[in-house]
Amino acid sequence: MIPKVEWAAFLEVADNLRLLQVPKGPVEGYEENKEFLRTTHHLLLEVEVMEGTLQGPESGHMFPISHGIPNMLLSEEETES
Amino acid sequence: MCDIEEATNQLLDVNLHENQSSVQVTESDLRSESELLVTIGATGPTGFEQTAADEVREKLGSSCKISRDRGKIYFVISVESLAQVHCLRSVDNLFVVVQEFQDYQFKQIKEEVLKDFEDLAGKLPWSNPLKVWKINASFKKKKAKRKKINQNLSKEKINNGQEVKINQRNVKKEFTSHALDSHILDYYENPAIKEEVSTLVGDDLASSKDETDEISKEETEPQVLKFRVTCNRAGEKHCFTSNEAARDFGGAVQDYFKWKADMTNFDVEVLLNIHDNEVIVGIALTEESLHRRNITHFGPTTLRSTLAYGMLRLCDPLPYDIIVDPMCGTGAIPIEGATEWTDCFHIAGDNNPLAVNRAANNIASLLTKSQIKEGKPSWGLPIDAVQWDICNLPLRTGSVDIIVTDLPFGKRMGSKKRNWNLYPACLREMSRVCTPTTGRAVLLTQDTKCFTKALSGMRHVWRKVDTVWVNVGGLRAAVYVLIRTPQAFVHPSEQDGEKGTLW
């Protein structure tokens, strides 16, 4: 999944979560780099936010995460344009 | 592979007659038991026979014959591949063919027809199929009983030992489970065809199926085998019922083998499938599915995993594809996806908190199971669950490669009236998040009228390339395969010069 990862967003999230040892981007020859692959796999698939909040980048709206599930339903006032 | 293809070709060309003695092409190829070739029949969702055939070719290297008996495919494999056959995701049930009659001549008088069936029992080439059955039974020896699972599962007894792939598949089925659909209805959809299904043993008449849990076959080699006969019959010109055929054929089988008849605790299930002039005698390798409808289900409309698999195959997923089910319900499709297409990322979303919770629980169970089974130091599955509104997806425009979902039919979930508004809104939002040109959507619905109308207004973004007709829970439904056109999505408000964002 490496080619599909948005590294800027990934790094920002990792920073918010205060994760350590986060690769700054796909390194040269990453397909063979076991260390890189293991770390990235871990961060992408094994780290899970169980409780928290997501904030919309443009609107600033807050979306809660509970038991690992984010609730992205918009409230009535949010959907009114 | 060469041998198998040869055998398959021979099988396809052979026209069998009832009086011909053992015509198993495979027997002439037999060199040693380990190189035994057998014909396997597999049943799956009607409409997805080609998909199943593709999977067989891909995973087993065999080509398939698709039977007129809809929902069935036949292929030849070497008996060593038997375990792998149970790994097929597009089929529900497997059996080994004892003999196939393509143009069986039924006599006109019932007594004579039934006498023919009785005589048939002793003339069939049972020995190789029984060998296969035996090998297959050894896979199942330590299978756990299927239990009714509550919502927060992952309390499965996971067996040790020869955890052959069968168990994995069966347990997985419990997770993704099945809809309340009757499997038998999938065989014969046309109400004009008189259809009957009966399972009889000895002199007993067919009674209502044992709807409770499956019986595990935990006995060690029994002295006397127990059996039952299940007969599926369809066709207008038969002068007998499936009850009668099963009874008399079963009686003869009992006399021939000296087996004991037992309806519920059987070792061998003999299948007698009759479709017009085609008769196939087989031995089941999986438990026949009449009782499948009471197997645990998580939600009111859970899709069966074989159908989910078939739909995913239609999407033709490529590595790194982002695959989204925006109305996932209990997550049957993404979960199937995460197990088979591990190099893609699967997102399961629904607006209903109950559904999302169930999906998340199913994912959690899958995770636990994969950890236990594989004992890998690392774990983690490429799948996640979100609660969202299909009409306002928190996904960037053009970021999704594949959308695959089971649209509310409007029968058990939602309503027809609601669909008139919902379908166009869904298609629109889906077209926004789906990548132009390369993106695709595979959508299942029973409300085909509403869907067709909704689609007709979206030709600038969606192009229909295929329709597969299926049977879901006794209802005729369609799976639409759509390709996203190259046209970029234009937000209505952008057209007016405004730019609004909800996120």
Q: pTM for this structure?
A: 0.75
Best of A55, A69, A81 to disrupt the B interface (most B CBs within 10 Å) is: A69
Distance of CA B440 to the CA centre of its chain: 23
B420 touches chain A (CB under 8 A): no
**Residue in chain A lying closest to B353 (CA):** A71
**Residue in chain A lying closest to B493 (CA):** A81
A41 chain-B contacts, CB cut-off 8 A: 378, 380
Give the CA-trace dihedral at B333, B336, B338, B344, to 10 degrees. -70
Helix (H, G, I), strand (E, B) or coil at A24: coil
Residue of A41, A63, A69 lying closest to B378 (CB–CB)? A41
| Full pLDDT tens readout for chain B, 503 residues | 455 555 555 555 443 433 334 444 444 444 455 578 999 999 888 889 999 999 999 999 999 988 765 788 999 999 888 989 988 999 989 999 999 998 999 988 999 999 999 999 999 999 999 999 999 988 876 444 333 333 333 333 333 333 334 444 444 443 333 332 333 233 223 333 333 444 433 333 333 333 333 333 444 455 789 999 999 888 888 999 999 999 999 999 999 999 999 988 899 999 999 988 889 999 999 885 543 333 333 455 678 889 999 999 999 999 999 999 999 998 999 999 999 999 999 999 999 999 999 999 999 888 887 777 666 666 788 999 999 999 999 999 999 999 999 998 776 666 777 888 899 999 999 999 999 999 999 999 999 999 999 999 999 999 999 999 988 777 889 999 999 999 998 877 655 544 456 78
Does A42 sit within 8 Å of B360, measured CB to CB? no
Shortest distance, CA B354 to any CA of chain A (angstroms): 12
Distance of CA B375 to the CA centre of its chain: 28
Helix (H, G, I), strand (E, B) or coil at B469: strand
Token pair recorded at residue A52: 């928290």
Residue of B356, B380, B389 lying closest to A69 (CB–CB)? B356
Does A59 sit within 8 Å of B385, measured CB to CB? no
A3 touches chain B (CB under 8 A): yes
B349 chain-A contacts, CB cut-off 8 A: 72
Token pair recorded at residue B187: 């065989």
Residue of B382, B388, B503 lying closest to A58 (CB–CB)? B503
ipTM: 0.91
B493 touches chain A (CB under 8 A): yes
Does A68 sit within 8 Å of B385, measured CB to CB? yes
* Total beta-carbon pairs less than 8 A apart between chain A and chain B: 65
Rounded to a whole number, what is the largest CA-CA distance in chain B? 84
Cβ neighbours around B316 below 10 Å, total: 11
User: C-alpha distances in angstroms, B76 versus B10, B21, B184, B286, B480?
Assistant: 10, 20, 24, 17, 31
DSSP state of A71: B
B387 chain-A contacts, CB cut-off 8 A: 69-73
- Cβ atoms of B8 and B62 within 8 Å: the answer is yes
**Residue B277 — left, alpha, or beta (φ > 0 → left; ψ -120 to 50 → alpha)?**
alpha
Residues within 8 A of B (CB atoms), A 16-35 only: none
Q: How far apart are CA B285 and CA B288, in angstroms?
A: 9
- Cβ atoms of B177 and B302 within 8 Å: the answer is yes
Listed in sequence order, the residues at least 6 apart from B331 whose beta carbon sits closer than 8 Å to its beta carbon are: B176, B325, B348, B358, B359, B360, B362, B363, B385
- Cβ atoms of B454 and B427 within 8 Å: the answer is yes
Query: At residue A49, what are phi and psi to the nearest 5 degrees?
Result: -80, 120
- Nearest Cα to Cα of residue A48 among A64, A71, A67, A23: A67
Shortest distance, CA A5 to any CA of chain B (angstroms): 10
Helix axes B353-374, B332-340, angle to 10 degrees: 20
Radius of gyration of chain A (CA): 16
Best of B363, B387, B395 to disrupt the A interface (most A CBs within 10 Å) is: B387
Helix (H, G, I), strand (E, B) or coil at B230: strand
